[in-house]
Amino acid sequence: MRTILLNCDMGESFGVWRMGDDAHAMPLVDQASLACGFHASDPLTMQRTVALAVQHGVSIGAHPAYPDLQGFGRRHMACSPEEVTALVLYQLGALDAFCRAAGTQLAYVKPHGALYNDLVRDDGLFNAVLEACARYRSGLPLMVLALVDNRREMQLAAAADVPLLFEAFADRAYLADGQLAPRRLSSAVHHDPQQILQQALAIAQGQPFADIDCKPLQLRADSLCVHGDNAESLAVLRRLRAALDGL
């Protein structure tokens, strides 16, 4: 069985507004995808979350988004590929400044929200993010959604000479092709801790699990995400960390 990493989206507080429990979640994960100021976070939050990741030896990824603070980056924006390359580069540079000041560097890039989902459907935007990764640092990996068939993503990434990391989600419902169920659906996000744990372990062990229509789905992933804004996250992370360490 392949070893799967555990990741969480973090650093998503903004000013006095707080989201997630980064201090308790950080020791439980291998990778932390940190907001870069466009959908959440601010300079002090970025600095503190980078320091927390360094303290616990957690790999730091940039979590760039459309410029959508009010919508938490979950609304599609009609940005051109040129704009997307620029806005991703801008966010990588911002977060990496705090990483460098703390004696580390970005380990990967994971787009957030609507931008992440748009990459599945739009070659122009996918190439724009690949270009940002390649121009920022040779060999900087891009984390993308693990689908039933990822040949498209692999071909585009190979042409851009950008390594890929494939990600699956413990607490999200899936469509039959491996795309995430739209959040407008009431069952798009899992809230039952046991269901989240069972889906996570199935993915980690390369076993099928139920999609949103209760049909079997099997994905191959390098990293497994539990969302930090899910109220059940911390309890599930503790159980999942223990379960993964015992595999």
We report the CATH number of the domain holding residue 96 as 3.20.20.370
| pLDDT value for 227 | 78
| pLDDT value for 247 | 75
Phi and psi (nearest 5°) for 32? -120, 120
Write the pLDDT tens digit of every residue in 78-98: 999 999 999 999 999 999 999
pLDDT of 11 over the 60 cut: yes
Residue 20 near residue 49 (C-beta atoms within 8 A) = no
Please, which pLDDT band fits residue 20 given cuts at 50, 70 and 90?
A: confident
Packing angle of the helix pair 81-101, 123-136 (nearest 10 deg):
30
pLDDT of 1 over the 60 cut: no
| pLDDT value for 102 | 98
Mean pLDDT of 100-107: 98
> In angstroms, rounded to a whole number, what is the distance separating the alpha carbons of residues 68 and 165?
25
Residue 178 near residue 147 (C-beta atoms within 8 A) = yes
Write the pLDDT tens digit of every residue in 169-196: 999 999 999 999 998 998 999 989 899 9
- Total number of domains constituting the chain: 1
Whose tokens are 């801008």? That residue is: 90
Domain encompassing residue 31? 5-245
Residue 115 near residue 67 (C-beta atoms within 8 A) = no
Strand partners, 39: none
Mean pLDDT of 153-179: 97
Please, which pLDDT band fits residue 231 given cuts at 50, 70 and 90?
A: low
Strand partners, 17: 14
pLDDT of 230 over the 70 cut: no
Please, which pLDDT band fits residue 236 given cuts at 50, 70 and 90?
A: confident
List of residues 6+ apart from 39 with CB closer than 8 A = 12, 63, 65, 66, 68, 69, 71, 72, 73, 74, 112, 113
pLDDT of 59 over the 60 cut: yes
**Mean per-residue pLDDT of the chain:** 94
Packing angle of the helix pair 113-121, 123-136 (nearest 10 deg):
120
Q: In the chain, how many H helices and how many E strands?
A: 8, 9
Please, which pLDDT band fits residue 228 given cuts at 50, 70 and 90?
A: low
